[in-house]
Amino acid sequence: MSLIDISGNLLFVAFIAYLVATLLFGGSIKQANATGNNTGKWGQLAIVVTIIGFLSQLGYFITRWIYTGHAPVSNMFEFTTAFGMFIVGAFILIYFIYRLTALGLVALPVALLIIAYASMFPKEVSPLVPSLQSYWLTIHVITAALGQSILAISAVAGLIYLLKAVDLTKPSKQRFWLEAVMYCLVIVIGFVTVTSTFGAMDYESSYNYVDKEGTTRKIIYNLPPIFGMNEYEVVEEHGMSPLVEMPALINAKKLTTVAWSLLVGSVLYLLIRLIARRRISAIFQPLVKRVNLQLLDEIGYRSVLIGFPVFSLGALIFAMIWAQIAWSRFWGWDPKEVWALITWLFYAAFLHLRLSKGWEGQKSAWLALIGFGIILFNLIAVNLILAGLHSYA
């Protein structure tokens, strides 16, 4: 068995371990509700399984690094799996500080969805393009991903806070937006479902198109095309034809993936609502009824205090150094750079509002969720739809 096969098996073991640990954390929540003990045997077993999964994924990361000869953060598959790993690592650290098992019930499913999202991208090892052949890339990407993962814990704490604090029995804006957050999580599940289904079917349709430089290129769709590339021509088509032709700036293949995810995710959401006959947020609310709101607020705030400077180093300072080396300029208004700046400005505003305006509790929780939404938009929408210097991802 080759080193790359061992790496893939370790990632699979980690995924299964996180899944099992999520179920165990669910058992620990029920035990805590019954006995008041927040770290009973179920919680202890859950964190042990989580650590086993994290070490397994760390093994994946190291063995792939050895096999490829560079840090495995150079494409969407590698970066996204690393992001999921860092979220689990950040959760483990926070768990041993606060001993709050409810965090695992949200943090691990988020990591699972992110790793599942990563599995939809090509896993093959390919040579690095010249702009990626720099140790500053490794420093920049790993530090940025680590900062984002710590900031993600603030969103985890914020979501749990809102699930307990928001009154779901009365119509309100907060009830509406909390359910919207749950809907977005189901959309991600929809993405995993649709891409896995058509991937198992080996679906492919081929088209020629003209890129923004005027060059004719070939593109292969792995989902039935809803949007067509600029000035496309059919090479080999299976089933439906593109419904709308997109301009050269937009990656129509990736936009098609987003559209299918929204469609399938919406259907899944409606099915859950019909079967459960209540909002998804109401399904999870009983699991968090014993959590300490003040403790969750502290966790969310401290996560931002730690994650913000780490993200600032990785996504801005180290990124500018790498950009100068790779493209001979510190800043170029690339879509990825712009959204990194937007993310930084948002969390700077978060800390300002928290420290000077006293935005605590529910206001702080909502800000944490919005911030993580910006991070996910950068990870998913900017990478999948907008073309730029980071399109190699």
Q: How far apart are CA 272 and CA 276, in angstroms?
A: 6
Specify whether 159 is located in the same domain as 284.
yes
- Confidence at residue 33, expressed as pLDDT on a 0 to 100 scale: 53
Q: Which domain holds residue 135?
A: 130-168+280-393
Specify whether 268 is located in the same domain as 288.
no
Specify whether 1 is located in the same domain as 120.
yes
235 neighbors 208 (Cβ within 8 angstroms): yes
Specify whether 197 is located in the same domain as 110.
no
Q: At what angle do helices 293-311 and 135-165 cross, to 10 degrees?
A: 160
71 neighbors 65 (Cβ within 8 angstroms): yes
- Confidence at residue 392, expressed as pLDDT on a 0 to 100 scale: 47
Which residues, other chains included, contact 131 with Cβ-Cβ below 8 Å and sequence gap of 6+? 326, 327, 389, 392
Specify whether 98 is located in the same domain as 207.
no
Specify whether 197 is located in the same domain as 323.
no
381 neighbors 262 (Cβ within 8 angstroms): no
Specify whether 306 is located in the same domain as 363.
yes
183 neighbors 269 (Cβ within 8 angstroms): yes
Please list the rounded mean pLDDT of every run of 10 residues in the chain (393 residues): 86 93 84 54 90 96 89 86 94 91 90 85 73 78 93 94 90 90 87 81 81 76 82 72 77 81 93 92 85 91 94 90 78 80 94 90 93 87 59 48
Tell me the β-bridge partners of 250.
386
- Confidence at residue 32, expressed as pLDDT on a 0 to 100 scale: 60
Boundary of a domain, candidates 218, 243, 278 = 278
Residue carrying structure tokens 């739809």: 385
- Confidence at residue 34, expressed as pLDDT on a 0 to 100 scale: 46
185 φ, ψ (degrees, to nearest 5): -65, -40
Q: How many domains does the chain have?
A: 3
Specify whether 191 is located in the same domain as 257.
yes
- Confidence at residue 129, expressed as pLDDT on a 0 to 100 scale: 67
Specify whether 93 is located in the same domain as 219.
no
Which two three-digit tokens encode residue 52? 């086993």
* CA 166 to mean position of chain CA atoms: 25
